[in-house]
């Protein structure tokens, strides 16, 4: 993508550039944009997901003999139940009062084997009430009650900025530039379950960009969402605390005005890429983190990275001033020392060249044979293929051959047709 530039930030009194000014001027048109009415309420960690590997303790499975009941576990009462296959796990223990969900028994690993059998999900109020170190200790403690031979696997995080005085423009989807290969604009839908690259639903109240398995940007009306889930009282108490970016203004939150949220959601595979590719600029050592507590000092860097991956442009080549403001002036509210100035952030990508590239070709050939045998049409097969965890590797392999997703679909369609013609269907 072409590197975009920021508009100039001008101090009204001196007429000179100022990094702290809310007054922006477009050098091409001389138009002014005043963001002095924008109130940045809070940027915090909205969700933490810590993954663990290990072997499930035999007594744990007894908790799920009667799904939907309350059980005793780790000195607390939990709701035990089954979960859908889309989660990747079979069972859950949930305590909404604690703000913790334990997802147990990975679908793709045998019960009796060591595997990625546990994900601990923590909600905002549990994250907000303790330091990353104490939260990590609590998650590790619960993991030890579920697993033996335990190993911290990786974490996933959601970072959320809440602000007032700004409403997404009607053409936000058209002006948001990102690396997504596909863009869809879907309006008037109350619920959306597709893994699309970009979507708009709920009468323009929610905008989604990116994929669930990568980096995802969500922009939505947090006031309406909090009211719908009966959590508005909690969030108003957070917004009224005065821990905003506008110092000296404890009454920053206006209860008569809607709060909009800009949220970056990082899949655990992306966090792993940062952990494997980012280095300390002083020592050259890779940060190599595995836990939320260890990675928490890097969340400011993660926020800035996301704001550069998704670019809201005012006009070609120039950022919308609000995007400059929230990228440069926002810091994640956590009681940790930020390492953004001491770290060179870079994602490490495992490519599909060489041996794994050969595997992609072999897989596709066998995939086509199975499709023909089961009489599966190309469109349905392609949809299923895109939901597979290895889809990014397949895309990378064919992108290296200058093949777009549309071309890849056509390639699969042609291979399937050739298989039908040469060898027949279901043979």
Strand 89-95, strand 76-82: pairing: antiparallel
DSSP character for 164? E
Residue 189 confidence (pLDDT): 39
Cα-to-chain-centroid distance, residue 352: 23
257-280 pLDDT, tens digit per residue, is 999 999 999 999 999 999 999 999
Distance CA 9, CA 15 (A): 10
Q: Based on the number of CB atoms within 10 Å of its own CB, is 282 exposed (0-12), middle (13-18) or buried (19 or more)? A: exposed
157-166 pLDDT, tens digit per residue, is 999 999 999 9
Give the list of residues 6+ apart from residue 109 with CB closer than 8 angstroms, or none: 115, 116, 117
Q: What phi and psi, each to the nearest 5 degrees, are found at residue 139?
A: -65, -40
- Tell which residue, 182, 169, 222, 185, has the closest CA to residue 44: 222
- Tell which residue, 214, 177, 174, 175, has the closest CA to residue 3: 177
Residue 424 confidence (pLDDT): 66
Residue 151 confidence (pLDDT): 95
Give the list of residues 6+ apart from residue 65 with CB closer than 8 angstroms, or none: none
Distance CA 134, CA 126 (A): 11
Residue 195 confidence (pLDDT): 37
DSSP character for 344? E
Q: Is the dihedral of CA 110, 113, 114, 118 positive or negative?
A: positive
DSSP characters over 178-238: -S-S------S-S---S--SEEEETTTTEEEEE-TTSEEEEEEEHHHHHHHTT-HHHHHHH
Q: With beta carbons less than 8 A apart as the criterion, state whether 149 and 55 touch.
A: yes
192-212 pLDDT, tens digit per residue, is 333 334 555 555 579 999 888
Please list the pLDDT of the chain residue by residue as tens digits (427 residues): 558 999 999 998 887 989 889 999 999 899 999 999 999 999 999 999 999 999 999 999 999 999 899 999 999 999 999 998 888 899 999 999 999 999 999 988 889 999 999 999 999 999 999 999 999 999 999 999 999 999 999 999 999 999 999 999 999 999 999 875 434 444 443 333 333 345 555 555 799 998 888 899 999 999 999 999 999 999 999 999 865 555 544 448 999 999 999 999 999 999 999 999 999 999 999 999 999 999 999 999 999 999 999 999 999 999 999 999 999 999 999 999 999 999 999 998 765 555 566 788 888 888 888 888 888 888 888 888 887 878 877 877 777 676 777 888 888 888 888 877 876 655 5
Residue 196 confidence (pLDDT): 38
Residue 360 confidence (pLDDT): 84
C-beta neighbour count of 53 within 10 angstroms: 19
- Between CA 280 and CA 285, with CA 283 as vertex, the angle to 5 degrees is 60
Distance CA 139, CA 321 (A): 39
Q: What phi and psi, each to the nearest 5 degrees, are found at residue 111?
A: -60, -40
Give the list of residues 6+ apart from residue 141 with CB closer than 8 angstroms, or none: 74
Q: With beta carbons less than 8 A apart as the criterion, state whether 16 and 10 touch.
A: yes
C-beta neighbour count of 356 within 10 angstroms: 14
């Amino acid at each position: 993508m072409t590197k975009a530039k920021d508009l100039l930030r001008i101090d009204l009194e001196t007429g000179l550039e100022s990094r702290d000014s809310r007054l922006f001027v477009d050098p091409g048109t001389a138009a002014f944009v005043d963001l002095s009415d924008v109130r940045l309420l809070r940027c915090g960690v909205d969700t933490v997901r810590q993954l663990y590997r290990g072997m499930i303790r035999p007594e744990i499975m007894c908790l799920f003999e009667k799904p939907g009941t309350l059980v005793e576990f780790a000195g607390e009462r939990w709701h035990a139940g089954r979960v859908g296959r889309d989660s990747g796990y079979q069972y859950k223990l949930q305590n909404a009062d604690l703000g913790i969900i334990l997802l147990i028994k990975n679908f793709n690993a045998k019960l009796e084997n060591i595997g990625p059998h546990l994900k601990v999900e923590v909600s905002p109020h549990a994250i907000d009430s303790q330091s990353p170190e104490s939260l990590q200790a609590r998650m590790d403690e619960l993991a030890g009650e579920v697993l033996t031979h335990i190993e911290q696997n990786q974490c996933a995080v959601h970072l959320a900025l809440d602000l007032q005085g700004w409403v997404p423009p009607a053409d936000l989807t058209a002006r948001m530039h990102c690396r997504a290969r596909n863009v869809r604009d879907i309006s008037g839908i109350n619920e959306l379950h597709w893994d699309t690259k970009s979507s708009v639903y709920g009468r323009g109240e929610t905008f989604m960009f990116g994929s669930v398995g990568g980096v995802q940007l969500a922009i939505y009306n947090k006031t309406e969402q909090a009211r719908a889930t009966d959590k508005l009282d909690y969030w108003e108490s957070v917004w009224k605390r005065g821990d905003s970016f506008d110092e000296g203004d404890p009454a920053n939150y206006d209860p008569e005005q809607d709060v909009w949220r800009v949220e970056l959601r990082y899949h655990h595979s992306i966090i792993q890429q940062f952990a494997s590719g980012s280095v300390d600029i002083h020592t050259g050592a890779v940060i190599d983190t595995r836990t939320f507590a260890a990675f928490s000092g890097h969340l400011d860097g993660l926020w800035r990275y996301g704001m550069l991956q998704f670019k809201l442009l005012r006009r070609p080549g120039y950022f919308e001033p609000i995007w400059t403001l929230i990228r440069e002036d926002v810091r994640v509210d956590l009681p940790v020392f930020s390492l953004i100035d001491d770290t060179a952030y870079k994602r490490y990508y495992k490519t599909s060249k060489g041996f794994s590239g050969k595997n992609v070709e072999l897989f596709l050939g066998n995939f086509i044979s199975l499709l023909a045998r089961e009489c599966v049409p190309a469109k349905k097969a392609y949809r299923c293929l895109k939901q597979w965890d290895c889809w990014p590797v397949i895309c990378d392999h064919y992108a290296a051959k200058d093949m777009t997703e549309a071309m890849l679909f056509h390639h699969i369609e042609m291979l399937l047709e050739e298989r039908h013609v040469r060898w027949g269907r279901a043979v």
